[in-house]
Chain A
Amino acid sequence: MALAHNTFLELVRQKVFYFLLLFALLIIGSSLFTVEFSFQSPLQVLKDVGLGAMSIFSWLLGLLCTAMLLPKDIEDRTLYTILAKPVPRFEYITGKLLGVFMMIGLSILLMSVLFAAVLGIREQQELAEIARITPVEELEAALAAVRASAFQWNLLAGVALIFLKAALCSTLTLLLSTFATSSVFTVLISVVVYLIGHVQGIAREYWLRPGEVSLLVKGGIAVMALLFPDLQLFNVVDEIAIGTKIPLDLFLQVTGFGLLYTVVYFMVAQVVFATKEL
């Protein structure tokens, strides 16, 4: 825990949370301007923008922070001083990752609070506006429609999946940094894997149509599908944003998938780091 706490402290003191000011600007900005420029309900747009931005910001924050942790410790030789203490290597890696998870968790919490506050304020404004312009006989239905498009508890499930996706991608970045020689390489490969993760589902469907491709290609696709996570599964968050009720088994399936990849990447990172010459 000392390593996790220290990693978290490192990220806090490096002022990574200033990054969240961008999120704040984005959310407040979108809440002010969506009314005039959108054909959708303003609350709906706000939810789309909020959850989408939360997903991108938490991924980017996790990626950039994780990519620099290990190379920096090796370059500064801080790693030697730490591992010269009675600290097993798996404990070091675990501590670093937990520190990043704590930072992602706190970031998402802060973003969620801000998002919920802005959404609540916009909801009140919408309700007041509807009450002013809607005839009395239609008022109740109109107010119910606004409330339905505002905050709902299933948004929390979306937030949980956003955390899981960022944690998965951070673990993958940590794995890459155990054998990469520079942070730039780690960031680039991690971004490429992120992109592959978002298109591999489409590629798989296209290439695996019956009778159209060779076994070799099918094998290659299967290997790729195993190595890289299908991040499109996390698009279920978009459904949550538009108010669709997500069945529990689908939520558990995506959570299980995310946890499985996170654990596997973490185990591989442990094995690679355990045999690494420092």
Chain B
Amino acid sequence: MKTPAISIKNLTKEFSIPFRTERLRAVRSLSLEVPAGEVYGLLGPNGSGKSTTMKILLGLVTPTAGSTEIFGISSRQVESREQVGFLPENPYFYKYLTGLETLLFFGKLCGQRGSELADRAAELLKVVGLESASDRRLSGYSKGMLQRIGLAQALIGNPKLLVLDEPTAGVDPAGSHQIRDLIVQFKEKGITVLLCSHLLSQVQEICDRIGILNEGALLLEGRVNDLVSAHNQTELLLENATPDFLNEIERRAAECGVRVLDRRMPQRDLERFFLEVTRNKS
């Protein structure tokens, strides 16, 4: 059996509360696996334990009980992070560095040097569309640009697993769309992605499977299509159908005991509409 990209077993994390005897249980007996190559969405309301789970996975926090592994290596070992790229929520990098210097710095932390690193940094700046801003200091970057340089630094070590915490938080629709497209590209390249996001429409669009956390426990897990599809309903999208033709369909459906629940013109996605309008304007 192939080693999963992420393996979390009976994970529990409790935090002590200053001046109080009881402890805050942030994660409760959480178990889940993410196979290599999958895009997995970890969802849940604020305070549900998503960030704590991510931090434990990345070795930033020690679990109270249970274990986490990345490609079969315990998160407690530094080697487990050789295969990981991480983008934290609202990342603040060193503002005194330029975009290129940021990538060179993080590349060196991954053990890269010389022309190999320079080529990789240049390639990633192109991938995230920041070539023209590579010599600007990050203090002059917009929120969307910071998220994109964040993605680039996450990718600098050629990771097999990307952990993205709210990658589109606070980014405008165009920037958010670009980031979503990048995640789709990563998936096509076989990179496993663990994604935390409150943008559920985006999660639905790009994730293969999701897990929903609440109060530190896993409420539900499964393939996105299986979870959200209404299995006893069918959508039929027609073009140039006359009212008579539609009435005929409804009549035939009634004859066969099929109930037509709704009949309406399809609406365009507001995000796509916004992008079309702003692109035309520019």
Interface residues of A (CB under 8 A from B): 2-3, 6, 9-10, 13-14, 76-78, 80-88, 275, 277-278
Contact = CB atoms under 8 A, between A and B. Distances in A.
Interface string B91-125: 11110110000000110111100000000000000
Given A3-B109, A6-B97, A77-B89, 10 more contacts: A10-B94, A13-B96, A77-B88, A77-B90, A81-B93, A81-B153, A83-B58, A85-B106, A85-B157, A86-B81
Tell me which of B55, B60, B82, B97 has the highest count of chain A C-beta atoms within 10 A of its own C-beta: B60
Given A2-B108, A77-B90, A84 B96 contact: no
Contact of B58 (A3, A78, A84, A275): A84
Contact of B96 (A14, A81, A278): A14
Contacts of A275: 62
Tell me which of B84, B97, B106 has the highest count of chain A C-beta atoms within 10 A of its own C-beta: B106
Nearest to A277: B61
Contacts of A6: 94, 97, 105
Contacts of B78: 86-88
B59 to A, nearest CB: 7
A84 B105 contact: no
B108 A77 contact: no
A208 B18 CA distance: 39
Which 6 residue pairs are nearest across A and B when measured between Cβ atoms?
Answer: A84-B86, A2-B108, A76-B92, A13-B96, A85-B109, A278-B60
Interface residues of B, number: 34
B91 A81 contact: yes
A77 B85 CA distance: 15
B79 interface: yes
Given A9-B96, A277-B61, A278-B55, A81 B106 contact: yes
Contacts of A86: 78-79, 81-82, 109-111, 157
Nearest to A88: B78
Contacts of A83: 58-60
Contacts of A82: 106, 109
Contacts of B61: 277-278
Nearest to B150: A81
Nearest to A1: B108
Given A86-B79, A86-B82, A86-B110, A81 B88 contact: yes
B84 A84 contact: yes
A115 B57 CA distance: 53
A60 to B, nearest CB: 22
B96 A80 contact: no
22 contacts: A3-B109, A6-B97, A6-B105, A9-B96, A10-B94, A77-B89, A81-B88, A81-B91, A83-B59, A84-B60, A84-B81, A84-B88, A85-B106, A85-B157, A86-B79, A86-B110, A87-B78, A87-B81, A87-B109, A88-B78, A277-B15, A278-B60
Contacts of B55: 80, 278
Interface string B65-92: 0000000000000110110111111111
B78 to A, nearest CB: 5
Nearest to A15: B96
B109 A77 contact: no
A77 B166 CA distance: 14
A275 B153 CA distance: 26
B26 to A, nearest CB: 11
A181 B104 CA distance: 31
Contacts of A80: 55, 58, 60, 86, 88
Contacts of A87: 78, 81, 109
A277 B93 contact: no
A13 B94 CA distance: 11
Given A6-B105, A81-B106, A85-B157, A277 B62 contact: yes
Contacts of A76: 92
Nearest to B57: A84
A107 to B, nearest CB: 18
A15 to B, nearest CB: 10
Tell me which of A3, A84, A86, A88 has the highest count of chain B C-beta atoms within 10 A of its own C-beta: A84
A201 to B, nearest CB: 37
A78 B60 contact: no
Contacts of B85: 84
Nearest to A76: B92
